[in-house]
Structure 1
Amino acid sequence: MSRTETLTIDELGARGDGVAKSGDGQVFVPYTLAGETVTVIADGRRAALLSVRTPSPDRVEPVCRHFETCGGCALQHMGPDAYRTWKAGLLDRALGARGLDTSVIRQAHFCEPRTRRRAVFSAILTEKGVLLGFQQAASNTVVDIEECHVIAPEIDAARPALKAVLEPLLPAGRTVHATVNLTLSGLDVAVEGKIAPDDRQKRAAADIVRAEGLARLTVNGEIVLAPKRPLVAFDDVMVSPPPGAFLQAVPEMETVMADLVTGHMAKSKRVADLYAGCGTFALRLAKSSTVHAVEGDGPALAALDRGFRDNSDRKLKPVTVERRDLARRPMTAHELRVFDGVVFDPPRAGAEAQAREIAASTVRRVAAISCNPETLARDLAILIQAGFTLKSVTPVDQFIWTPHLEAVALLERRTGRKRHWSDM
């Protein structure tokens, strides 16, 4: 049963919610800060904020009118200095919980507002037209946004055009998702959902694509119209990503991560790039190393391979590709014997099984990239127990005002006998 309470926020949890103590134990209160006294409606361990009775000196006015409504940002109410301290602390906390050396954590890199080149919108057709925005937290309600301080201005300004493109495609009342990637050629729009537009609807959408100058429109993987070939640059290597492709969120932060990875691998002759995507790291590494790129997503891998072949004038070293589900079938220690460097950039669940194979291999250098400090710490602990030294971990915040944090960890194997993971 819900109840009204006055609570004091003790700290921020890992998801950015305030944590308070009540008679029933811990309570998590979104949009609050440590030290604040707040009035809430509590229901079990979750609470909705009613008012802030004693605000923290770190509290600021949110920059966006949709904050607390659209379900995107969690921390716009937190001043920039406090936000950066808390965000970098997520990595320190995760490594410390595993008993890892936190002194190797380097200064964090932070992105600026309005720099995200990739957005996944929700859209629904109503009597009032298309609503385009994000889904309210813990809800299926689509919030029709009028501004966004996270995404790049080119995407934000295109919202009316995106609504116009979607309107002829959507049946009333059915929510779809539209992934919009900002490429060098323009906006690449990939619509996914339980819809099956007919030829007339597709022609109507295609006319708007032409009029608005979009690069490409696809619906459930089928190209409706592609007036321009979408292109992204991995350093100076051009790649055409597949529809809805995963790209690092902020180009500047991608460069930071890539510089760390390529610098660490500079002395490696043969590198395995695991969870390689479209080639974010592989095609940069190929400037000095032979690379074997492994990825489970077929279209992404094909884009990487084509990017390598299309850039023969860049004098890249050989790049081979392999489609493989690394979560189910990681590269084995035996397969890794021909590589002296490994890069892996898995999803949020991490790469526990793959880390154990790397630990049992003869690989000398490892670069681990992760958007989840907890699973990164777990995977690092496996490698360190096997004889690797953690040289550095660099926090990279390309998810502004959220609790998500990227990090790049660089490791080298200590000399001496390696330990098999089964001995641990």
Structure 2
Amino acid sequence: MTENAPPTLLKIDRLGGQGDGIADTPAGPVFVPLTLPGETVRVRVQDGRASDIEIVEASPERIAPVSPHYGECGGCSLQHWAAGPYLDWKREQVRLALAREGIETEIEPTVAVPAGTRRRLALHARRGPDGRVVLGFKARKSWRLVEVTACPVADPRLVSAFPALTRVAEAFLEHPKSAPTLHVTLTLTGLDVDVTGVERKSGRLSRDRQMQAIRAANIADLARLSLAGETLAMMRQPTVMFGPATVPLPPGGFLQAVPEAEAAMTERAVAAVKGTRKIADLFCGSGAFSFPLATVAPVLAADSSAAGIAALKGGIGTATGLRSITAEARDLFRRPLTPHDLKGCDAIVFDPPRAGAIDQTRQIVDTRASVVVGVSCNPQSFARDARVLIDAGFVLERVTPIDQFLWSSHVELVGVFRR
């Protein structure tokens, strides 16, 4: 059907993995964004995607969205869905990912996180046709930038800083090819901002623009401003709490997006390893799991980020009552820890990037660990890694989905394996 063809009525049969409604038609599936199962819609269809969408018969599960940018901003694709079925759908995505690998286990109800709690945002900056700097998020399936003035997902302290952050962003728009992104993190000492996407071939940022950025950072009372991980100005060391420890966050360092989601993950990891004698924390970052785990037993921590390991070591002296933590900077994709390296570890926690940790998982198989906890932001790669452990004699006792990225299609999880 062409764009000029008359509208057609469709019934939404299900939701796809990216959160779009899907109508199964004789010509194949049609993807209809911002719709729900059971709804009747009037649309125009081209190449399997719908446009000019009109809701003819709404689902009883449809609710009013709370963001003024809903439908235009690409951040929240499921804000129109009631909480109960929305959380059930996320749980079902985990079940489907496991089922593709032939895995059945107990899947607990999805752990919800409240609105207004996200402490990390990636804000894109562009100069508009009128010359004004615009700060916001990308539109759905587009490079177009949507200026954002409110965000119900984010911590209100981040939202209130948007005007000041816009002035900071202006300094990084020196070159026409620059497309700066401000990675903003709310820490215990204030906002930490790391800027990426600045044109490099032209010599990166001139000294004048660096000074402009530093002045704007001071006016905004940022804790730190950095450019692609290199500090431009630090008024206060950004710190976060991991368990009982206060940890100095490295510029651009990884941090779970929502404290409540991190707490749900660590609570389950710590509960699973109770009674063990030594714990390995793989892909440990700056120690989000290492410090809580060290309340149970000595911890061997490893991560590819030297800055993250340095931050972890910097936090060790800030807490009392912990067992020993040994930390090593090591690329676990190229040089996974071997059974010899993991000797004595009867519990292993691993939290890899989205790609998973297939090579490291194969090494875990030959250790003497009795319990393994997998934390993942990608159910598909988790299921692949889980298959390796299960084939080696581990039992996946249970999986807990965690809704860290509210109103998106993303779902995170914690899985507990025992031999």
The answer to whether residue 256 in structure 2 is matched with residue 248 in structure 1 is yes
2:13–2:23 Cα contact (<8 Å) kept? yes
The answer to whether residue 98 in structure 2 is matched with residue 95 in structure 1 is yes
Q: Structure 2: state its 5+ residue gaps.
A: none
Q: Residues 210-249 of structure 1: matches in 2 within 5 Å?
A: 210-249=218-257
- Percent identity reads 40
User: Which residue of 321, 327, 343 corresponds with 1:321?
Assistant: 327
What residue is the counterpart of 1:364 in the other structure? 370
Residue 402 (structure 1) shift = 0.6
What residue is the counterpart of 2:38 in the other structure? 35
The answer to whether residue 279 in structure 2 is matched with residue 276 in structure 1 is no
SS at match of 1:169: coil
The answer to whether residue 131 in structure 2 is matched with residue 146 in structure 1 is no
SS at match of 1:253: helix
- Paired residue total: 410
SS at match of 1:110: coil
Residue 90 (structure 1) shift = 1.6
The answer to whether residue 196 in structure 2 is matched with residue 157 in structure 1 is no
User: Which residue of 281, 295, 302 corresponds with 1:287?
Assistant: 295
Q: Residues 97-176 of structure 1: matches in 2 within 5 Å?
A: 97-102=100-105, 104-126=106-128, 127-171=130-174, 173=176, 174-176=178-180
1:124–1:172 Cα contact (<8 Å) kept? no
Measured in 1, the distance between the counterparts of 2:66 and 2:265 equals 28
Measured in 1, the distance between the counterparts of 2:321 and 2:61 equals 51
User: Which residue of 73, 76, 79 corresponds with 1:76?
Assistant: 79
Q: Say which is worse superposed, 273-282 or 40-49, in terms of deviation.
A: 40-49
Residue 180 (structure 1) shift = 0.3
Q: Say which is worse superposed, 351-360 or 57-66, in terms of deviation.
A: 351-360
SS at match of 1:246: coil
What residue is the counterpart of 1:401 in the other structure? 407
The answer to whether residue 197 in structure 2 is matched with residue 189 in structure 1 is no
User: Which residue of 57, 63, 66 corresponds with 1:63?
Assistant: 66
Give per-residue Cα distances to partners, 1:97-118, cap 9 Å, x unaligned. Answer: 333223x222321001111000
Q: Check 1:265–1:199 CA distance in 2 against 1; reply closer, same or farther (3 A cut).
A: same
Measured in 2, the distance between the counterparts of 1:130 and 1:242 equals 28
Measured in 1, the distance between the counterparts of 2:45 and 2:166 equals 38
SS at match of 2:249: coil
SS at match of 2:299: strand
Q: Say which is worse superposed, 354-363 or 400-409, in terms of deviation.
A: 354-363
Q: Structure 1: state its 5+ residue gaps.
A: 414-424
The answer to whether residue 385 in structure 2 is matched with residue 379 in structure 1 is yes
Q: Provide TM-score, normalisation by structure 2.
A: 0.93
2:336–2:360 Cα contact (<8 Å) kept? yes
Amino acid across the alignment from 1:58: E
SS at match of 2:343: helix
SS at match of 1:31: coil
Q: Say which is worse superposed, 220-229 or 174-183, in terms of deviation.
A: 220-229
What residue is the counterpart of 1:179 in the other structure? 183
SS at match of 2:12: strand
Structure with the larger helix share = 1
Measured in 1, the distance between the counterparts of 2:139 and 2:175 equals 20
Measured in 2, the distance between the counterparts of 1:8 and 1:281 equals 45
SS at match of 1:314: coil
Q: Check 1:66–1:331 CA distance in 2 against 1; reply closer, same or farther (3 A cut).
A: same
Q: Provide TM-score, normalisation by structure 1.
A: 0.92
Give per-residue Cα distances to partners, 1:47-69, cap 9 Å, x unaligned. Answer: 33521111111112211121121
What residue is the counterpart of 1:333 in the other structure? 339
